[in-house]
Structure 1
Amino acid sequence: MSRTRRDPREEREARRLDGNARPRWRLDTPPSSSRLRRDPRREAEAARVPGAARLRLDRSGRVAGTLAPPPIAAEPIAAPTIRIIEAPAFLIAVVPDAPGGRLTPLDRQLLGAARLLSDAGGGAVLVLSFGAVDGLGAAGVDRTVALAAPPGGDPTMRTAELAGLLAALQPRHMLFPESATGGDLARRLAARIGEALFAGAESLTARLATRPAGNRHVEQRAAPPRLVTLAPDAQLPHTGTVHEARRLEAPEIAPAPAHDAILSVEDLPVAADALPLAEADFVVSAGSGVTDFELFRELARALGATPGASRMVCDAGLMPRAAQVGASGTVLEAACYLALGISGAPQHLQGVARCEHVVAVNTDLHAAMVERAGLAIIADAQQVMPALIAALKAESQR
């Protein structure tokens, strides 16, 4: 071996500091063929976050010797590849709920199932929506047809339009979500055209559709008919390549006559604080960081959100037990969840796992809820609440 043999005594003497009564050694000079000796105190002092009441250390980018590594040049991000299917062999039509032009989690799962059916034989996914819908390309959609919503949202007129499109486009399958709106529309369409409907499918392939029956003691299997509704959490959403989502003009179909028996169809507004947490679309919750609950309720009313709370707050009697969010309370499926002063116990995080967007307000940068959130405000919730109310009032006066 050609490696030079180390002499620890010689290396130690080379690092000795002269002029000291007690022997001291220089730590920032590396011995031969060795690395720098770490100084934990020096590293901790360099990682200290200034201005914090409690000791906080910033561990991002710190290395031994208290120096950050040199910046790495960011690699250029390639533009996403868009998949284009010019001449599909067949179409898989999807009718999502898409309230307010936004895909729900069940809509995304429905599009994931349609994507699997179309990719199995060179087909394309076609979305039939009453109004524009955002994010269709990322959800795996190749074609989209936006239909004009009938006046008053008449379900009979919607059914007539879908029946005309079904006859004009001849898709291999038409998929609906098994929801209050999608399930009703699918059953109306099946009764109108006289075709079978496979409702509540939990497994769907090009050859087989399955669903539970007999209190889930029996599994029914059948070749999937043209009309199918998909149960929640039965399929995974599409997470692959972005698709074209080319917008097409609706084919000419006979106008649907208005239903004489239906005078008007409208959604009656319901106070957000009267909604059950399981049905709420926007929930704001209070944790141990909230002390002024009158201010908290005022913020919930200003935001139009349903108030919730952590288990600690409900145990203290500050909020009703029905407002508890978590595995031992209510599991949410809200589009947005605002957590005020909630650290994020494991049971609470299970309750917000299905929420699409999570916003956390907490003084602890390393809280579990802050890590779960897509947007975090590191501040006292008692100071953030009046600031949000003032900002909402100023916006409403514009």
Structure 2
Amino acid sequence: MNRPRRDPRAERAAHLTVGEGPRPRYDRTRRATGSGRPRRDPRAEREAQRVGGGVRLRYDLSQVGRPMGEAVTAAPRAAPVAEAPKTVVVETPAFLVAVVPDAPGGRLSGHDRQVIGAARALAGREGAVAVIVDGDCEGLGAAGADRVLRLEPAEGYDPGGRAARVEAALTALDARHALFPESLDGGDCARRVAVSLGEALFTNAEVVAAKGLVRPARGRRVEQSLAPPRLATVAADAVAEYGGPPREARALPFEGSAPVDTAKGIVSATRIPADPATVPLSLAEFVVSAGNGLTDLDTFRQVAAALHATPGASRVLCDAGLMPRHSQVGASGTVLAATCYFALGISGAPQHLQGVAGCEHVVAVNTDLHAAMIERAGLAVVQDAQAVMPALLRRLAEEAEQATVGGTS
């Protein structure tokens, strides 16, 4: 293969001269006729990459490497707009999988959401998940509920009456499966319903799938598996929560939702809350911890008492003897399973973050915006904790005064 030989003199003469004068000047950015490629003009490319007209020069480096004549000035970039996830609607499900959560205080616990996630695994694409709750409950659609059947809550502690209403709801729904949390109240309700219906109950399931359920037996030396039964309880921290888009959570009418006056086996029962100051950290629901960023521990104890929370501390304060050793939070102290963790002046060492990994909500107050605890928190306040504590106490006092005035009026 023969290639034509270059003629540098002809290529040079093909360029147009620029300007006038005794010394010839040429425009080397023009492509010559025949072989050869245009010569780059770094100054022109750099000028084309310039963004904005401020005092400080800024350039869009994504334009690097463009040939001459194609470099463009970057348009101002708009902030990305997060689109709301679409709600999944199941109009005509082939069958229903019922879930009876504990829902203490009208909100789902972590165990309840895991049971709903197990029900979603049983329902698949053709079925729907129906949640049976007492009264109002928030977050059912986001947890994976397609249908919601609300029962009128009974006055006082009446586990037998609640089991009877749940049994009537299951009969009305004609659910293929019904799942309960293996908890103190959920397990009791599941066993009462199973006895009343005369059906077997598969308890403490740790694996839930459409093919079957699996649970440990004989001291966890063997496993027992069974095709999905109608009634089953799900162990805590065994099944993942539902992580897909929100579901419809359509309300279902039910005529037998009102409690029926029947003879109660329990005359009276009252729940006595434990003193938060004496509750072990491993059992506490709300923990307020102090870190090395706090110096006024008396105000910290007032905040913990006003919030009805269990006091905790970082390892630095415990090593210094400012807080008792049993209040240390972290991998070398106590690993928490609290619903809410409030960190005041804690930067967030790796061992401390391991101790709060199981907490559902984390609130942090710290002056360092880039602290690890700030990144871990769902709600962060970038401020000195010494200034936040008095303001929080004043706000709590105002709310208590308003509640007192409202109650007396």
- Indicate the TM-score class for this superposition, using the shorter chain for normalisation: 0.7 to 0.9
The answer as to 2:77 corresponding to 1:72 is yes
Contact 1:173-1:226 within 8 A present in 2 as well: yes
The answer as to 2:250 corresponding to 1:215 is no
- Counterpart-to-counterpart distance in 2, 1:170 and 1:130: 19
Cα distance, 1:124–1:393 mapped onto 2, change above 3 Å: same
In the TM superposition, residue 349 of structure 1 has moved relative to its aligned partner by: 0.8
Cα distance, 1:172–1:62 mapped onto 2, change above 3 Å: farther
Deviations 1:168-219 (A, max 9, x none): 2221111111122212221222223222111111111223110112222211
Matched residue count: 349
Residue of structure 2 aligned with 1:99, choices 90, 100, 104: 104
- Counterpart-to-counterpart distance in 2, 1:100 and 1:346: 33
- Counterpart-to-counterpart distance in 2, 1:167 and 1:139: 24
The answer as to 2:154 corresponding to 1:119 is no
Residue of structure 2 aligned with 1:82, choices 74, 84, 87: 87
In the TM superposition, residue 100 of structure 1 has moved relative to its aligned partner by: 1.3
In the TM superposition, residue 233 of structure 1 has moved relative to its aligned partner by: 1.9
Amino acid at match of 1:4: R
In the TM superposition, residue 2 of structure 1 has moved relative to its aligned partner by: 1.0
Q: SS state of the match for residue 277, structure 2?
A: helix
The answer as to 2:113 corresponding to 1:108 is yes
In the TM superposition, residue 136 of structure 1 has moved relative to its aligned partner by: 0.9
- Counterpart-to-counterpart distance in 2, 1:257 and 1:347: 53
Residue of structure 2 aligned with 1:267, choices 271, 279, 285: 271
Q: Which residue of 2 aligns with 1:17?
A: none
In the TM superposition, residue 354 of structure 1 has moved relative to its aligned partner by: 2.0
Contact 1:164-1:254 within 8 A present in 2 as well: no
Contact 2:207-2:239 within 8 A present in 1 as well: yes
Amino acid at match of 1:307: P
Q: SS state of the match for residue 267, structure 1?
A: coil
Aligned counterparts, 1:286-297, within 5 A:
286-297=290-301
Q: Which residue of 2 aligns with 1:2?
A: 37
Contact 2:177-2:229 within 8 A present in 1 as well: yes
Amino acid at match of 1:315: D
Cα distance, 1:35–1:371 mapped onto 2, change above 3 Å: farther
Aligned counterparts, 1:372-387, within 5 A:
372-387=376-391
Aligned counterparts, 1:8-87, within 5 A:
31=43, 33=45, 71-74=76-79, 77-87=82-92
The answer as to 2:159 corresponding to 1:160 is no
Q: SS state of the match for residue 153, structure 1?
A: coil
In the TM superposition, residue 76 of structure 1 has moved relative to its aligned partner by: 5.2
- Counterpart-to-counterpart distance in 2, 1:351 and 1:63: 44
Cα distance, 1:71–1:280 mapped onto 2, change above 3 Å: farther
- Counterpart-to-counterpart distance in 2, 1:306 and 1:62: 53
Task: Name the TM-score, length of structure 1 as normaliser.
Answer: 0.81
- Counterpart-to-counterpart distance in 2, 1:294 and 1:63: 54
In the TM superposition, residue 5 of structure 1 has moved relative to its aligned partner by: 6.5
Contact 2:362-2:379 within 8 A present in 1 as well: yes
The answer as to 2:394 corresponding to 1:359 is no
Q: SS state of the match for residue 142, structure 2?
A: coil
- Counterpart-to-counterpart distance in 1, 2:60 and 2:40: 28
Could you tell me the percent identity over the aligned residues? Answer: 55
Contact 1:165-1:251 within 8 A present in 2 as well: no
Deviations 1:348-396 (A, max 9, x none): 1111112222111111121100111122112221221111111111222
In the TM superposition, residue 32 of structure 1 has moved relative to its aligned partner by: 5.3
Q: Which residue of 1 aligns with 2:375?
A: 371
The answer as to 2:282 corresponding to 1:282 is no
Contact 1:157-1:259 within 8 A present in 2 as well: no
- Counterpart-to-counterpart distance in 1, 2:172 and 2:210: 22
Q: Which residue of 1 aligns with 2:325?
A: 321
- Counterpart-to-counterpart distance in 1, 2:390 and 2:257: 54
Q: Which residue of 2 aligns with 1:55?
A: none
In the TM superposition, residue 144 of structure 1 has moved relative to its aligned partner by: 0.5
* Greater Rg over alpha carbons, structure: 2
Q: SS state of the match for residue 365, structure 2?
A: strand
Amino acid at match of 2:256: E
Cα distance, 1:246–1:358 mapped onto 2, change above 3 Å: same
Cα distance, 1:362–1:143 mapped onto 2, change above 3 Å: same
Q: Which residue of 1 aligns with 2:66?
A: none
Contact 1:300-1:306 within 8 A present in 2 as well: yes
Cα distance, 1:35–1:350 mapped onto 2, change above 3 Å: farther
Cα distance, 1:253–1:133 mapped onto 2, change above 3 Å: closer
Amino acid at match of 2:108: L
Residue of structure 2 aligned with 1:391, choices 386, 392, 395: 395
Q: SS state of the match for residue 220, structure 1?
A: strand
Cα distance, 1:350–1:62 mapped onto 2, change above 3 Å: farther
- Counterpart-to-counterpart distance in 2, 1:308 and 1:89: 50
- Counterpart-to-counterpart distance in 2, 1:232 and 1:91: 23
- Counterpart-to-counterpart distance in 1, 2:190 and 2:59: 58
Contact 1:283-1:336 within 8 A present in 2 as well: yes
Residue of structure 2 aligned with 1:131, choices 117, 130, 135: 135
- Counterpart-to-counterpart distance in 2, 1:161 and 1:126: 15
The answer as to 2:191 corresponding to 1:187 is yes
Task: Name the TM-score, length of structure 2 as normaliser.
Answer: 0.79
- Counterpart-to-counterpart distance in 2, 1:160 and 1:62: 71
Amino acid at match of 1:284: V
Q: Which residue of 1 aligns with 2:348?
A: 344
Where structure 2 has 5 or more consecutive residues not aligned to the other structure, the ranges are 1-35, 50-55, 62-73, 403-409
Q: SS state of the match for residue 126, structure 1?
A: strand
